[in-house]
Amino acid sequence: MKTLEELINTEEPGWDLVQEWLQEATNPYEILPRDIKRAEEELVRAQVTTRSPMGAIIYETGGILIDGGWIRILGSGCERLQRGIMEWNKGKSFDYYGEQPRFLLIADDVLGGYFAINGGGLSEESLGKIFYLAPDTLQWEDMDCTYSDFLNWAFAGDLQMFYEGSYWNGCKEEVAQANADKVFSFFPPLWTKEGKDLENSSRKLVPIEESYALTLEFQAQLNNK
């Protein structure tokens, strides 16, 4: 494994590129402050250089909140977003640090949807592309874009179109008050026919760890039918 010194690129820092994208952002965003010790640890665990956008976000941020926290892009973790990208993935997409992940969870949303880079565990095709585990289908959907493309979409893409049908009255106010390590749990669930009507669904915030485990459990049940 490469050392911290080998992973930090001061000549061509990827953070400069990310900042250029942020300057062109049309969606609201908030860069969460980093804890330097956590940032260094997560960068070494990830084994990506700061020349890359992912390495830059891990090293320079605790994470990035998009649209008031509707989407949470994982960095190295901080007080308001406790999940560093690699510590969040450990036990989910790989078992020990240094192992090649089957996929890498890189962001999630307040609905309980998950964005991941495919390392071969989600599809034998589209390696390196972003997939979305949609809470209304419980299926991994190929977004046909790279990590850099995903960032640009999160910063300046049409989120209203992507999440069409997933808003309810007062949702933005509720999301703004939500902890970034929690997601909404809906009843009836979003993947049921009855769950499509969000205005008449009940919802509560639950820890994202609980939501992720339950999502995989329901996914397995549906796939085995």
pLDDT single digits (tens) 186-208: 999 999 999 999 998 999 999 99
Q: What share of the chain is helix, strand, coil (3-state, %, to 5)?
A: 35, 20, 45
- Per-residue model confidence as pLDDT tens digits over 43-102: 999 999 999 999 999 999 999 999 999 999 999 999 999 999 999 999 999 999 989 999
Q: Judging by DSSP bridges, how do beta strands 29-32 and 71-74 pair with one another?
A: unpaired
pTM above 0.85, yes or no: yes
The answer to whether 74 and 115 are in contact (CB under 8 A) is no
Question: Is 9 buried (19+), middle (13-18) or exposed (0-12) by CB count in 10 A?
Answer: middle
Contacts of 142 by beta carbon, 8 Å cutoff, 6+ apart: 118, 123, 126, 129, 131
